[in-house]
Chains A and B, each alone.
Chain A
Amino acid sequence: MSVADSLPATGLPIGVPAALAPRRFGTRFFRSELWLIFGRRRNWAGGLVLASVPIILAIAVKVSEPQPGDGPDFISQITGNGLFVALAALVLELPLFLPLAVGAIAGDAVAGEANLGTLRYLLAVPVHRTRLLLVKFGAITVFAFTAVALVAVVGSVIGLVLFGGGPLTTLSGSQLPFAEGLWRLLLVCLYMTACLAALGAIGMFVSTLTEQPIGATIAIVMLAIVSQILDSIPQLSAIHEYLPTHYWLAFGDLLRDPIATGQIGNGLGLAWTYTVVFLAAAWARFASRDVSS
């Protein structure tokens, strides 16, 4: 914590342009953003929903053991290793629940402040608009990782309790030591975070277009779903590799032996491209916008 960081922003004389204000690279704004996200009761409720899926899944599998080949992917592997509860739950939540969670936060990022009328106070602090966007995006990314990790941790814990740990069977049929299995699960979480952060960047751009956070959230979730629908239409195969959700399920390549990097690399590249383009678009829109609320 630097001295400059602890300077009260209101101590500046009125009329001093933002550019003359002391440069602050402290973490206070970022921490306050995180507090805004993680301190809200509605986000806690959303987290509970996310965490309930692996619990329900694990109990259902414990009660009635699935046959190989039955049901969604990874379900039949759960009885062999509890870590698959986390993976199966992530597969189930990836199409809708996780995009919904990230969409709610990203849609709220700018439009929520505008809706509550706090955006102008925030900008008057003063916070540079570019910095505001970057901090907001950083908070969205942290939230995306937290949401994914929440599902993974809850799934792993209940899976290990109900089904035990031990070596993890890869998709290639080989067995990995438990620690290596945990490492692969972490890689899966990080990959999903990158994919969801790209969606968050698109969401933050949408959020700068409106003052209605719910509208922005709906737009982001619709985008994620439309992208998945388009991805399933074979006649549109020419555009598939540019759809934001196209490589989401490529995380399965992290569970092979050895890891297949091709699709993962493409997925990260696409996510990075969407992130940069839409952060720049959000900056173009937000930095020139009249903020009246």
Chain B
Amino acid sequence: MSVLASRPSLRWAVPLGVAVAVFGVAAGATALRASAEPSLPSRSAAQLLVDVQTAKLDALSGTVVQRADLGLPAIPGRIGGSGSASLTSLISGSHTLRVWYAGPEKVRLALLGTLGESDIIRNGPDLWIWSSGEKKAQHKTLPPGAATHDPSDVTGLLPTTPQEAADKILAALDPSTVVSTAGTAKVANRAVYELVLAPRDATSLVSQVRLAIDGTEHVPLRVQVYAKGSTSPAFEIGFQQVSFDRPGDENFQFTPPPGTTVDEDKPDGSAKSGPPARPGDAPEPGDAPKSDGGMKFSVDRPDMAKPDASGIAPQSTVVGSAWTMVFVARVPQDARSGNGNPLGAFLTTLPHVSGSWGSGQILRSKLFTALLTDDGRLLVGAVTADRLFQVAADPAAALK
């Protein structure tokens, strides 16, 4: 005390020291976790791929964090955004999901919004989609035998789990890809192998995709997509916390609470199966405008290429394959007009481009490029703009 009494300025060392200690411990723990190379027997890329494909996942629960930094230009009214609990908002910002999995018959995904939540719950033949903001529940009775389906069919509405995202990337694997390993790392406090996939085609905007595969369970725990010329992932989905213990059955029970609007879908599957894409379902009121028009972002969702999934394209096709696949669709004229349509207003802000293929407007982001031609076609792909222009001139993409 006597030192402090004679030198009062020394007292300031206490709050400073506390601040430095707290943040230092936090940062040091992160750095230590990142740098500590867990000791796992080395495995080749091929072995890892087989491990992943043969991994038998009995049960899992945990928290998944998804981040997207696609470098999109500012969109009026924002599409998606952090903290939104709308299932269609996953394309931008950071999102947290909770996952419970106890076999393909019992699956639950919860997308956590700031003061809201959307759930997809499968329990036996029942499939529920719940949205707390709208107080709406969608119910679908799955036909018997659906249990033998791949679980990603049920949860395939979104690329939500690392398992599913990895499956989609592995499906795209063919001679177009350089596969290598990048040693070991730690994800969600578990030792993982890292598998690196890099496209050979120079027109792809993706520089590499890194998969973190659990060292003992062989389940993908994290997927990162890096764009060309970027050192941080443009898209990332990974477990923050994971447990392979079987989650309790109570997590899969769902009964619509009183006052809920319940949509019943027929078991034949003729009814629409997508999540409700309705403006105003997000907790933030200004968060609404969704791309109900032609602007579907198919970068991480190859299944969107199916015309019935997007529901808007009378004609559509896919040009190219694997990494440089370009999705081409005809856009309804009303989706492009600017009157009262936030999407139309947004389109008018996009730069015009023209060439031997015609003219149109272009949207560039880190991971994908979209071209809306003046003759009403939308081209989207994880490729450079030049490649899109080539495709636009390609007769295969003429949609006539």
Segment touching B, from A3-11, A38-46, A167-175, A215-223:
A167-175
**B115 and A73 contacting across the interface, CB-CB below 8 Å:** yes
- Chain A nearest CB, measured from B21 CB (Å): 10
Choice from A237, A249, A258 contacting B251 with Cβ under 8 Å:
A258
- Which A residues touch B15, using CB under 8 A? 277-278, 280-281, 283-284
**A262 and B22 contacting across the interface, CB-CB below 8 Å:** no
Name the residue on B nearest A205 (C-beta): B15
Q: Is A115 an interface residue (CB 8 A)?
A: no
Choice from B11, B258, B283 contacting A80 with Cβ under 8 Å:
B258
- Residue of A68, A273, A281 with most chain B CB atoms under a 10 A cut-off: A68
**B 238-289 contacts with A by CB, 8 A:** 240-241, 251, 253-261, 280-281, 283, 285
Name the residue on B nearest A77 (C-beta): B135
**Bound CA span A171–B12, Å:** 45
**B261 and A174 contacting across the interface, CB-CB below 8 Å:** no
Please count how many residues in chain A sit with their CB below 8 Å of the partner chain's CB atoms.
38
**Bound CA span A80–B240, Å:** 34
Name the residue on B nearest A248 (C-beta): B114
- A73 with B116: in contact, given A173-B130, A234-B81, A281-B15 (CB under 8 Å)? yes
Q: Is A134 an interface residue (CB 8 A)?
A: no
- Which A residues touch B260, using CB under 8 A? 173
**B240 and A280 contacting across the interface, CB-CB below 8 Å:** no
Give the number of A-B contacts (CB < 8 Å). 106
- Which B residues touch A237, using CB under 8 A? 82, 94
Q: Is A79 an interface residue (CB 8 A)?
A: yes
Interface string of A271-293 (1 = CB under 8 A from B): 00100111011011101100000
Q: Is A91 an interface residue (CB 8 A)?
A: yes
- Residue of B9, B11, B257 with most chain A CB atoms under a 10 A cut-off: B257
Name the residue on A nearest B258 (C-beta): A80
Q: Is B371 an interface residue (CB 8 A)?
A: no
Choice from B11, B119, B137, B253 contacting A283 with Cβ under 8 Å:
B11
Choice from B115, B135, B241 contacting A91 with Cβ under 8 Å:
B115
- A249 with B255: in contact, given A73-B283, A173-B137 (CB under 8 Å)? no
- Residue of A69, A80, A262, A285 with most chain B CB atoms under a 10 A cut-off: A69
Name the residue on A nearest B280 (C-beta): A69
**Bound CA span A263–B241, Å:** 12
Q: A273-B22, A277-B19 are in contact. List 5 more A-B contacts (CB 8 A).
A: A73-B114, A174-B257, A262-B241, A277-B22, A278-B15
Q: Footprint of B on A, CB under 8 Å?
A: 68-69, 71, 73-74, 76-77, 79-80, 91, 167, 169, 171-175, 234, 237, 249, 252-253, 256, 258, 260, 262-263, 273, 276-278, 280-281, 283-285, 287-288
User: What are 7 contact pairs spanning A and B, CB under 8 A?
Assistant: A68-B135, A80-B259, A91-B115, A260-B98, A273-B19, A273-B22, A277-B15
